[in-house]
Amino acid sequence: MESSFKLVTARDLEPKQLESFMHRTYGPVKGAFLTRHGGWWYRGEEQRWAVLANQQIAAYCGVIPTVCRMAGVPQAAVWWVDLFVAPEFRGFGLQRLFDQAIRHRADLKLGFPNRLAARIHLRHGWGVREDFRMLLLPLAPTRIWPLRAIHGLRGAVLKAGAGALGPAARWLRGRLSNYAPRSARLVDDPNSAMLAELFARHQDRNIVTSERDSDFIQWRYLDAPYRGAMRFYLAGPPDDPRVALISRTVDRPGCRMVRILDLFGALSDRALLRDVLLLCLRDSVHDQADQVTMLATQPALRGILRSIGFVAGAKVPFCWHSEAAETAALLQRSTCHFCLADSDHDEPG
């Protein structure tokens, strides 16, 4: 049966066929985004594939090329994202076709799977860890986005609890709105070379993280189709910035959220981290945001975030696969620093 399937890239598909599949599979918002900006999202149309069965799309996936810093050494990798197999074609081993295509891109494959996919990856020889956290600061607890998806008795209980947090949230918004930064400031004209140099100057070889060179920064932030929704912050002396933070404001029905997409530089400087984070939170309050969200994969960073109001959190499984035993072992035991801008966490919307 597998021989009747054909693996093609997005370039080989009829645009209308791909658009229809995107909308049907991923919904109107993400589907429209991938239709218009898929070439940017995956860093090239050749980075996403479909499996055809009788000229119909039976399965789809994409990868986002990246470079991962391992013990201070850059290593090519890919984030494996958006894997979907149509229900009627499950059980035919179509994932193996994607495996073969991706194997030629890079030895190291990375991903943030859901819990079910994490168990499947574990059975297939991937490494999995679950010590990463997505943290949320509720500036307007009754309007935070996660509550929209919870119904029934549990939803009623959680919404009542959110309402009880109203006085504390008003107090927190008041404190944040008056925050006076020490050295943190908003940057109106960010420069990819300067930000890349800041990252390189303060990169800790003991932390596994994504390489933030000028090409990455230009692509991921400055050329982003939602560039106007981003803010760029620096902290440290004017002639020697030491920490950078990049945020994005997203409006959804009934909820305005701020996502902290990236934070890099001198990550051991707790005072600078607090300063730049608090300035971002102050601006979020002034913009009437309902929540602020950040992926925190370092225990020390999670401690700072919780101390300034990030009280809600959820586990985020992380997985990887490499034929190199030392690479796999490094990812298992090392402190990692990944952010919302990595993989596909920064969803369109």
Looking at the DSSP bridge assignments, the partners of residue 67 are 76
Q: Which residues contact 73 (CB under 8 A, 6 or more apart)?
A: none
pLDDT at 235: 98
CATH of domain 133-337: 3.40.630.30
Query: What's the burial of 100, exposed, middle or buried (CB within 10 Å: 0-12/13-18/19+)?
Result: exposed
User: pLDDT at position 3, please?
Assistant: 60
Q: Residue 166: what pLDDT?
A: 77
So what's the pLDDT on residue 347?
79
Q: In CATH, what number does 2-106 get?
A: 3.40.630.30
Helix 166-177 / helix 270-286 crossing angle, nearest 10 deg: 110
Instruction: Give residue 156's pLDDT.
Output: 62
Question: Residue 168's pLDDT is what?
Answer: 87
From residue 114, give the alpha-carbon distance in Å to each of 121, 209, 213, 315. Answer: 10, 21, 29, 10
The predicted structure's pLDDT at residue 24: 93
As to burial, measured by CB atoms within 10 angstroms (0-12 exposed, 13-18 middle, 19+ buried), residue 105 is middle
- Listed in sequence order, the residues at least 6 apart from 281 whose beta carbon sits closer than 8 Å to its beta carbon are 137, 176, 179, 292, 308, 309
All CATH 3.40.630.30 domain ranges of the chain, comma separated, are 2-106, 133-337
* pLDDT for the residue numbered 63: 95
For the four alpha carbons of 143, 149, 153 and 158, in that order, the dihedral sign comes to negative
Segment-wise mean pLDDT, segments of 10 residues, the chain, 349 residues:
79 92 92 94 93 93 95 94 90 84 86 87 89 95 77 64 78 96 97 98 95 98 97 97 98 95 97 98 98 97 96 93 93 96 87
- The confidence score (pLDDT) of residue 151 equals 62
